[in-house]
Amino acid sequence: MLDLNDIMIFARVIEAGSFTAAARLLGMPKTTVSRRIAALERELGVRLLHRTTRSLSPTDAGRLYYEESSQALRAIEGANLRLAEARTEPAGTIRISAPVGFGGHFLQDAIFDLLATYPKSRVELRLTDDRLNLVENGIDLAFRTGILEDSTLIARKLGSTHRLLCASPDYLARCGAPDRPADLVRHDCVVAGQSTHAQWLLEGPHGQETVAVSGRFAANEMQAVMAAAIAGYGIARLPHGSPIPSSAMGGCAAFSTVTRPRSVACTSSIRAAGTCRLWSRPLSNSPPDA
C-alpha cells in the first residue's frame, strides 16, 4: 500500500534537488530519505529518479508523478493549515529574505507590527539583492520582484513596482539629461547587478524598448547603486519612493522602467504556506511603488 509520507518525501526531494537538501528540510537522515524513495519506487513498480554520484534528476515518469501528486499534497496541506490556523497562533522562527532597499525601508514596520501581535514569533531577516534558493538556505519567505521562475513555489502578489532613471545634479551638469531611451547608450549608467553592462527594459513615449547600457560602476546591492548615483558616477534605476534627499538628485528622465509585480514566495510545506498567508495580508497594504 502506498504511504502518503513517502509521496511527500519524494516531492521534497524534487523541490530541493538533492537527498541532502531534502533531508535537511525534512529534519531526517539522508539515508532515511533515500530508503523511503526506494520503497516508493518498489511500490509503484517504476523508477522515479536518475541517480549519479554528482546529480539527481527525475525520470519522465518521476516528473509526471510529481506534477500530479504535488497538487494533491498541496490540497491536503492546505486543509491541515486551515485547521492549524484556527486553533493556534503563529510561533517559532520565521526566516525571511528580501531585497535590501525594500526590506530596509518598507518591510521592517510590518515585521515589527507582527512581532508585537504574535509574541511567540521570532524573525531572522536576510537582506540581499541576490535571488536565493529557499530550500538550500532554509528560508520560509522571500520577497521577489518580477516573474517567479520556480514553479514549485507558492506565491502571493503584493502589488507592483517600477523604477525611475535618476542622476545627481553634478552628473547632469557635466553630461546632460537623456531625452529618450536610446540616449542612454552615450551615458554612464550605474548598474544594479554583477556586471557594468546590462539590458534595461524601458517604457518611453513610443512604448517599450530594450537598451544596452554600460558604465563604470555596478553593484548587486541597491544602497551601493544609490550612493554611486548620488556621487555623480552616472544614471541609475532607483525604486520609486527611495529615501534620497531631493538635493542629492538632479531629476529623473521622462521615461521609466516597466512596472513589474512584487510577490511574497514560499516553499510548499505546510508551515511555509501558513507563514506566506500570514505575512502577505499586512504587506498587501505596503507602498505599491516601493
Burial of 156 per CB tally in 10 Å (0-12, 13-18, 19+): middle
Instruction: Look at 246 and 102; give whichever has higher pLDDT.
Output: 102
The confidence score (pLDDT) of residue 270 equals 44
Give the model's confidence band at 71: pLDDT under 50 very low, under 70 low, under 90 confident, else very high: confident
| Residue 265 and residue 131 share a domain | yes
| Residue 38 and residue 21 share a domain | yes
The confidence score (pLDDT) of residue 262 equals 57
Domain that residue 138 falls in: 89-160+261-283
Give the model's confidence band at 233: pLDDT under 50 very low, under 70 low, under 90 confident, else very high: very high
Reading the block at residue 246, the C-alpha cell is 531631493
Is a pLDDT exceeding 80 seen at residue 144?
A: no
Residue 12 within any structural domain of the chain: yes
CA atoms within 13 Å, Cβ hemisphere of 20: 7
Question: Quick check: pTM over 0.75?
Answer: no
Can you give the three-state secondary structure of 257-278, one letter per residue? ECCEEEEEEECCCHHHHHHHHH
d(CA 144, CA 264): 6
The confidence score (pLDDT) of residue 89 equals 67
Number of folded domains that form the chain: 3
| Residue 136 and residue 169 share a domain | no
d(CA 257, CA 237): 8
The confidence score (pLDDT) of residue 228 equals 93
The confidence score (pLDDT) of residue 260 equals 58
CATH of residue 252: 3.40.190.290
| Residue 237 and residue 168 share a domain | yes
Residue 271 within any structural domain of the chain: yes
- Please give the full DSSP string across the chain, using - where no structure is assigned: ---HHHHHHHHHHHHHSSHHHHHHHHTS-HHHHHHHHHHHHHHHTS--EEE-SS-EEE-HHHHHHHHHHHHHHHHHHHHHHHHHHHH----EEEEEEE-HHHIIIIIHHHHHHHHHH-TTEEEEEEE-SS---TTTTT-SEEEEES----TTSEEEEEEEE-EEEEE-HHHHHHH---SSGGGGGGS-EEEESSSSEEEEEEEETTEEEEEEEE-S-EESSHHHHHHHHHTTS-EEEEETT----GGG--EEEEEEEPPEEEEEEE-SSHHHHHHHHHHHHHHTTS-TT-
Is a pLDDT exceeding 80 seen at residue 106?
A: no
CATH of residue 279: 3.40.190.10
Measure Cα distances from 232 to 104, 175, 240 in Å. 23, 10, 19
Instruction: Look at 200 and 145; give whichever has higher pLDDT.
Output: 200
Q: What is the mean pLDDT of the chain?
A: 78
**For the residues 189-218, what does the mean pLDDT come to?**
88
**For the residues 169-192, what does the mean pLDDT come to?**
90
CATH of residue 36: 1.10.10.10
Is a pLDDT exceeding 70 seen at residue 46?
A: yes
Is a pLDDT exceeding 60 seen at residue 54?
A: yes
| Residue 144 and residue 273 share a domain | yes
At 64, which amino acid appears? L
Using CA atoms of 269, 158, 245, 114 in order, give the dihedral in degrees to the nearest 10: -60
Residues 32, 35, 41: CA angle, nearest 5 degrees: 140
Residue 290 within any structural domain of the chain: no
- Mean pLDDT is lowest, of 40-44, 55-59, 157-161, 242-246, for 242-246
- Mean pLDDT is lowest, of 63-67, 145-149, 234-238, for 145-149
| Residue 171 and residue 247 share a domain | yes
| Residue 110 and residue 249 share a domain | no
- 122-137 pLDDT per residue, tens: 888 888 877 777 777 8
Buried-state track 243-265, b at ≥16 Cβ within 10 A, e below 16 = ebeeebbbebbebbbeeeebbbb
